Amino acid sequence: MGLDIITIPCLSDNYAFLARDTQTGDVALFDAPEAAPILGELEAHGWKLNDIFLTHHHGDHIDGVAAIVAETGARVTGAKADAHRLPPLDRALRPGDSVAVGQSNGTVLDVSGHTVGHIAYHFAGAGAAFTGDSLMALGCGRVFEGTPEQMWQSLSQFLDMDDDTVICSGHEYTAANGRFAETIEPDNPDLRARIAEIAGKRSQNQPTVPSILGQEKATNPFLRVSSPAIRQRLNMADKADFEVFAEVRRRKDNF
């Protein structure tokens, strides 16, 4: 029991994900940057698409919806708070709502910050989370609409999840994220090992997404703001977590 997940490169550096419930064969798509590669993948596997789940309103996550719906008749689901700027929704979700792909059950998390109304989908039983531009591999989305405090609140929810959770995020930004992460935590051996692994994958044009949450907890500077070494380096030993997060995010924006 669980989800078979396929990572689909789209546009220049986006990812979409197909998840197929191993029990029922139901298939869901998470984000729709563009239709062609997604429809191609469905056809290659002979899979029938039941649902499209959207994380947030940015064009590089929704522009493929209309063409995919026209081709597959899939049901479209997204955040109620974002309904006015998402493609027409068949189902509008609130944080805490339940979703399902076949027999794999998920929960909707509010991960506002990058945008307000951004949601993530956590399938605890299947051990996967679809995070869009909230938690990313070695990074997180830029805070466009919310506040750093809100973004920290959003990201801290991932600290409570199992380390083996597969983090399916929206972009291939990992190598650049690694160059920045090194400036925040140069003496973290796990980070150094991960950067080498990323370089190896990218040199063979392999995706570095999805990633594993345990690895994010050990290396992603945006999840590590309680680390004494990071706090000392930033001269913020006595600050609140969200203040350290805000400083790390500010540095990344200027990197």
Query: What residues make contact with Zn ion under the rule CB under 5 A?
Result: 58, 133
CB of 50 to Zn ion, least distance (A): 25
Applying CB under 5 A, which of residues 133, 185, 216, 247 lies at the interface with Fe ion?
Answer: 133
| 58 or 231: CB nearest Zn ion | 58
Q: Which of 26, 57, 61, 82 is catalytic?
A: 61
| CB-side neighbour CA atoms (13 Å) of 110 | 13
Closest to Zn ion by CB, 55 vs 208, is 55
For residue 133, the minimal CB distance to Fe ion (Å) is 4
- 27: closest CA among 73, 88, 96? 73
- Candidates 109, 143, 112; CA nearest to 124 is 109
> Please, which residue, 16 or 27, has the CB nearer to Fe ion?
16
Kindly state the smallest distance separating residue 130's Cβ from Zn ion, in Å: 13
Please identify which of the residues 56, 57, 118, 122 carries the catalytic annotation: 56
Altogether, the residues listed in the chain come to a count of 255
**CA 231/CA 148 separation, integer angstroms:** 17
The one-letter amino acid code at 204 reads Q
- Whether 63 is a known active-site residue: answer no
Left if phi > 0, otherwise alpha if psi is -120 to 50, otherwise beta: which for 176?
alpha
Task: Kindly state the smallest distance separating residue 119's Cβ from Fe ion, in Å.
Answer: 14
Q: If binding is defined by CB under 5 A, does position 82 make contact with Fe ion?
A: no
Let me know if 58 is a catalytic residue: yes
Q: Could you tell which of Fe ion, Zn ion, none binds residue 249, using a CB distance below 5 to 8 A set by kind?
A: none
Residue nearest to Zn ion (CB): 58
Q: Quick one: which of 227, 65, 223 has its CA closest to 157?
A: 223
Is 57 catalytic? The answer is no
Among 21, 60, 82, 247, binds Fe ion (CB under 5 A): 60
Burial 214-235 (b: 16+ CB within 10 A, else e): ebbebbbbbbbbeeeebbeebe
**Residue 59 or 228: which CB sits closer to Zn ion?**
59
Q: Which is nearer to Fe ion, 132 or 221 (CB)?
A: 132
Least distance CB 124 / Zn ion (angstroms): 25
Q: Which DSSP symbol is given to 138?
A: T
Binding mask of the shown chain, residues 84 to 123, with x at each position contacting Fe ion by CB under 5 A: ----------------------------------------
Strand positions, DSSP E, the chain: 3-10, 14-21, 27-30, 51-53, 75-79, 91-93, 98-101, 104-110, 119-123, 128-132, 135-136, 139-140, 166-169, 211-212
172 touches Fe ion (CB under 5 A): no
- Spatial distance between the Cα atoms of 135 and 167, rounded to a whole number of angstroms: 8
Active site residues: 56, 58, 60-61, 114, 133, 171
Binding site for Fe ion (CB under 5 A): 58, 60, 133, 170
